[in-house]
Structures are given as C-alpha cells and as structure tokens.
Structure 1
C-alpha cells in the first residue's frame, strides 16, 4: 500500500538548539513522521491508510537510544519544545494539532505547554539549550492555574477617600437632641421670660404654668423693686 504524505503548515515554535545533552542518542525523525502522520489523519477524519508527515515542524527533531544497549527496547524523544522533549505521541499530538490549526503556539494549553516534559533533564532525555532553561515561552499563554494564583495574590486596591461631613443617621437608632444653651442676655443675666417659654415648651400643648416672674438678678428689676 502506498504512503500518503501529508504536508504540514509552516507555523512552529520549535528551537533547533534543543537536543540531548549526551552523545548516546542518535537522530531519527522517521518514527515521528510516520506516527504523527497517522494520528493527524485520524484527527482530520481521513480514511484508513498509510500516512506520513512531509516534515516535522521547524526546530523539532527526533532522537532515540537503545535502553541499556538492548536494540529491542528503544527510548524515543522529540526535541524542540521550550518546556522539554516529548517522550510519546500522546505528549506531542495536542501541541502539534494546535500548531497546525493556529499557525503558532500562542494560547496553547496542552499538557506539554502547561506542565512541561516528564523527561526534562533526565539522562539521555535531557537537553542542551540556552541559559533560559525551561522557563515559560513568551509564545504560550499562562495556564488557568497560574492565572488563578496570580489573581489570588493580587494586591488589594487602596482604600477610597475618607468622607468628610455629617455622618448619616443610622436606621432605628434614636439620637438625643443637643442640650439647649442657658438663656442669658448680653450681660450674662438670666432671661426669666425665655426660661418660662422653655418650661411651656417642655409642658406641651396640654400643660399650663402659673407662677410670678422674678428677675432679681436684673439691674432694671432691682431699680424698680428696691
């Protein structure tokens, strides 16, 4: 049966400088070209057949090494992702499909982008890269968990301006009227008439007051009564 070659889109976030940090693994893209081509064909609903990618996304490369010198058991890794190598087809396919559909990795929330590689820094699975290590790529949107933590620890807004003025009366709370000042004239002499008016006001509309008026402290009253 003939092999159907699937051309990929040119969008990529791969970094070709990322590769195994030891000299044991050898370069081999063919496994990834075939297996990723088969899975991509399934994702697109294509009929059964032998599929293969025409090339890996720019900056990505497959590497493999026999496990303990055993040629039957081979450890394979796909290098190029900023968070570390993919060690299986399920690890890389969500990210690859996102690249094919969007043309870039911006906003990708696949497991590889969010959590990083399980094989990062382990023996042959480790990688040589720039001093940036496995820091988050600027092409990736932050994960939901990261955004939630950032929001949880966001500083509280500063308090609003302090209101100056008369405080509002609280509902269902009775406040006593301010005490009335003592009724005196300009010379400090008590005003008997005003004090009687205060008594009438206190007695209410039904009350009466019948008492003589004495202003013994007033100089005018003393003049007429001494």
Structure 2
C-alpha cells in the first residue's frame, strides 16, 4: 500500500530571487486592430501582430507531452529519490504553477501572445511534475490552490513581486518573465546534479530545455522594446 509522504515545499534559498523593477509607461492592450500597441518600437509596429508573435512565440517546439516526455518518447523507468530530492520535486510543482499563473495574468493584461502560449506550456509542465509526484508518493502542494495562491510563503512572495513588476507595463512583464525563466533554469540545473532516477532526470531535462526556449522568447521581445 502506498504511504503518503508529506514533503516540505520550501524552495532553496535564492532559487526564485527577484531583481528590481523596470518601470516604464503603461501599455494599452491591442484590441486586435492594425494600429500598433502603445510603447512598441518602430521596428515592432512595422510587423503585423501575427508576424511578430510567430517570430517570438515561446512555444515548446519539440512537443513536450503532459507526462514530461517529448513526442514519441515513453516516460523512463522509476528510480529512487532521496528525501531532499522529493522536497525539490514538490517545489518544482509550485514553480510551474507560479509560471502558469503569472503568465496567465499577464496574458489577460497585454495583447502579447507569448504569455498565453508559454502559460499553456506551463500547464503541461505542471502535469508532468504531478505525474512524478504520484509515482513517488509525494504530496502535491498545488492541489486546491486557486490562481495566485501558493503553499510556500517564499513562492507566494516571489509571485507577488513578479506580478507587481509586470502590472505597470509590458516591459516590466517581459522582464519578470525573463527573471523567472533565468531562475528556473538555475533551479533545474541544480536539481539535476546528483539525480539518478531516470524518469525524473527525463522530465527535468525536458523542462530545462523548455525554460531555455522561453527565456530566448522573452529576450527577443525585450530586445525589440
């Protein structure tokens, strides 16, 4: 019989540390017309919205499935996780939920498809992590939590800071996205160190590749600002 193991979900110190806020003028969401969005550069306004988004969409191009594998690949075999690695796995669920909730909030505020598309990818990432939580009998800290609410106070504080950073302007939202993806890459890289469980390594490796693509997408948008 499976035995539920309650795992503390504290994120390692500094894993989601947030830098300062880049404050610029507010941006009005594009309602879908041909007029450029306020705050766009000349080079941005010369592209249609669809053309620009196609260049910098942030999709998971290699097709990560809900279980964290790439299209055509089966989830690797189960291994063994230490107590610390189980705690890290639980914290990964909160990080993926943070990304989803943050980008969803920004997608509702700004007519920039990169947020909507990456938020959709984060839903798949959270499902992949939940598959591992179930495999290893680790309590899911995100169950029953509405958007913007988290079990770990440190994760909650990070979400609140990033959300505030992005509420004032599109530039601030893009910077918040870059900050999160940079920190997520560092957290995943650290989590992979010393990890031997094949399925967990597979999922983390795929999540790392996805975060690198998301970071590239945000950096492209920031460069065009």
Normalising to structure 1: TM-score of the pair? 0.26
Q: Decide which structure has greater strand share.
A: 1
Greater Rg by CA: 1
Tell me: higher relative CO, structure 1 or 2? Use CA pairs within 8 A at least 6 residues apart: 2
